[in-house]
Structure 1
């Protein structure tokens, strides 16, 4: 099954995260210190191996002095025109139906 973390949409998001850090001329280890995390966590997020929830994203952007609303608006602009991968939703429906059907 296609996992939502491995989509063109997520690639765009991750590229924006990386470029936001690089625009501040920060290394992953510098951002890690600002966030109170280790460098490996930053690396995993930027490589798409670990997801951020919205609260973590807010903290990440604040650590980079990036406005959350502006970031999301730019993300929306970059994603516009890309088809939404319906496999993401299909996978979720299948998982939900399996939880309901214990057989």
Structure 2
């Protein structure tokens, strides 16, 4: 199962919430008062220990005088951009690192025992 709380997408979402609060020059305690919550709760949300449901997110954004749909559209654009960047990055070449692989690599090619065709092709015989 996908762990969304610790994903790159969730980090972008939480950073966006924090940056929005900071752009309004509010401390966590200030936002907590606007929401009728504690500073600790705001901190828990911003660090990902507590999640906001959709209604709480709307209240959070209202307290910061920020349009809900604007936030969602911007977040969606940010997440899509990250996905596009991830798709453009070439995956690293996977190299076996086990002891058997190291032993095989240490054998000079001219001394290696040839593998019979029936084994190489996977046929029984």
> Normalization by structure 1: what TM-score?
0.77
Structure 2: state its 5+ residue gaps.
Answer: 85-125
Q: Deviation per CA, 1:4-62: give whole Å up to 9, x if none.
A: 11100000000100011001000000000000000000000000110000000000000
- The total of aligned residue pairs comes to 83
Higher relative contact order structure (alpha carbons within 8 Å, sequence separation ≥ 6): 1
- Find the counterpart in structure 1 of residue 56 from structure 2: 56
- Displacement of 1:3 in angstroms is 2.2
Equivalent-residue separation in structure 1 for 2:68 and 2:76 (angstroms)? 12
Equivalent-residue separation in structure 2 for 1:57 and 1:68 (angstroms)? 8
> Normalization by structure 2: what TM-score?
0.64
- Find the counterpart in structure 2 of residue 9 from structure 1: 9
- Find the counterpart in structure 1 of residue 21 from structure 2: 21
Structure 2 residue 66 is the aligned partner of structure 1 residue 66: yes
Q: RMSD of the alignment, in Å?
A: 1.3
Structure 1 segments (4+ residues) deviating >3 Å: none
Which has more radius of gyration?
Answer: 2
Structure 1: state its 5+ residue gaps.
Answer: 84-103
